[in-house]
Amino acid sequence: MVLRESPFPNRPLRGLHRLAQALLFPSYWAVDGLLDLRETTAEKQQRQQQCCVCYPLRVLFLGSALLLLFILTLPAALLGLLLWLPLQAARRPFAYKYTQLAHQPAAWELPGKGQALSFISANVCLLPSGLAKWSNLGQTQQRAEILGHRLTQGEARAGPRDGATRYGATAASVVIEMPAGERGAGQISASFPPGVDFLCLQEVFDQRAATRLCRRLSPVYRHILYDVGVYGLQGCRAPKVFNSGLFLASRHPLLAAQYHCYPNGAGEDALSAKGLLCVQVQLGMAQGQRIVGYLNCTHLHAPAADAQTRYDQLSQALSWARLFQDSHGQDGDVVAFDVFCGDLNFDNCSTGDGLEQTHGIFQKYRDPCRVGPRQDQPWAIGTMLSYLRIHEKAVSTPEDLKWTLEREGGRQTYLEGPILQDGSPDPSAPRSPWAGRRVDYILHRERPHPSLATTVETFSFITQLADCSDHVAVGLRLLVTPAPQ
């Protein structure tokens, strides 16, 4: 699919789409405001500390005003919906932002001693504010600004911060040593590393938040794909109110991109166009051959009881990724990496996730944190926070969250624990060693090309999104080297 900035092919269609959105927005804003009257635990605690007794009156009067606004703007919204729905047939399933930067990454040559690439994957929960409240988060536009700042904060650091932690590492990170004979190392870090090559986000559902992220990230990342997915009645069985939530930023040129919508979404997940985003990246040239990489980003079905749905989605994703590479690869291409990442909504410790834990994707791609089904590396920790506790002081800042997750007692308190098949807590799960549910993954192929091999330098659990998301971000630093003969 040709990469051009607007998802619409011409200006008249873009103009009609803006008009439709303008007609829909007042009613959308009113409904979001009504849902936003729900308090987060942080807002409730602040109100109690200030001894504020006017909350019921605020809900009554503001709720009444918003309901009246919704009723008054409903005719315009219906007109906007009638205009918006057919326009989706002409819309391509993503928008693309290109920024010309003064400093561009050096083009690759075939690795001699090896060249490194770094990847970040994070679920940032940027739903409309009212819906984000169900995850104990709100203020979506403000969080988008904060997230954009934090995601690029590593670029401003000249080096690791001074000072030491209780464990003797730098203040920015604590390395958890792997057993002898294992490759790479696990790391809990309070900061995103500088020079990240690829940033893959999930749950960027709110379009205004996506625009804010683009503005914040574009001084660092030349190529950004956002507003990924289909809407309305296009492409999937159920009508789609939200896009896929996928968002990808790259320092390197994108040669091709393709999105597929999962056809088997059910329940509340059927309202969003969850799917797979595949991109082909050009790293450089060598003797007339392209050096390329493939990045596959996804967010799987959420309801815990629907294991078969997730299993089928993984199978579809593998098939789509293979077809994408077959259709966009050229003879002589040197494939430097093939990465699969995202929020897969299952873990490797819960008995309820046993079906997904045995999926064939783990035969094609390597999970650095995994030894086998139901067995993770001793340094791996969970990435799903207990959402009702994300604003407590022990986890309210990146440094506090890192400090807490370094201790097994902290992980037991603030990370979601193993579940049964129906999604309820597993009372039989061992209390020690205890790591929590790891649902965010970055997988890689060890031999993406006969002449090259990839090994993990570091796998990171990054706490810099503390108080802004109910997930811990994950990072992978991948070393590309000549394959042993």
Helix (H) or strand (E) holding 141: helix 140-151
**Contact assessment for residue 351 and residue 426, using Cβ atoms and an 8 Å cutoff:** yes
**Contact assessment for residue 482 and residue 460, using Cβ atoms and an 8 Å cutoff:** no
Count of alpha carbons within 13 Å of 402, Cβ hemisphere only? 28
Shortest CA distance to 419 belongs to which of 437, 405, 435, 431? Answer: 437
**Contact assessment for residue 395 and residue 385, using Cβ atoms and an 8 Å cutoff:** yes
User: Length of the chain in residues, anyone?
Assistant: 485
Q: Two tokens at 291? A: 């050096």
**Contact assessment for residue 91 and residue 8, using Cβ atoms and an 8 Å cutoff:** yes
Helix (H) or strand (E) holding 22: helix 11-35
Q: What phi and psi, each to the nearest 5 degrees, are found at residue 5? A: -65, -50
C-alpha pair distances (Å), 450 with each of 129, 152, 325, 334, 346: 48, 35, 16, 9, 32
C-alpha pair distances (Å), 291 with each of 18, 325, 448: 39, 14, 11
For residue 24, how many other CB atoms are within 10 A of its CB? 19
Q: How far apart are CA 260 and CA 253, in angstroms?
A: 21
Q: Is 471 a catalytic residue?
A: yes
Q: Two tokens at 32? A: 């979001």
Q: Is 372 exposed, middle or buried (0-12, 13-18, 19+ CB in 10 A)?
A: exposed
Q: How far apart are CA 142 and CA 140, in angstroms?
A: 6
Q: Report which DSSP code applies to 265.
A: -
Which amino acid would we find at residue 386?
S
Dihedral-angle region of residue 195 (phi above 0 means left; psi in -120 to 50 means alpha; beta otherwise): left
Q: How far apart are CA 163 and CA 190, in angstroms?
A: 14
**So which residues are the catalytic ones?**
471
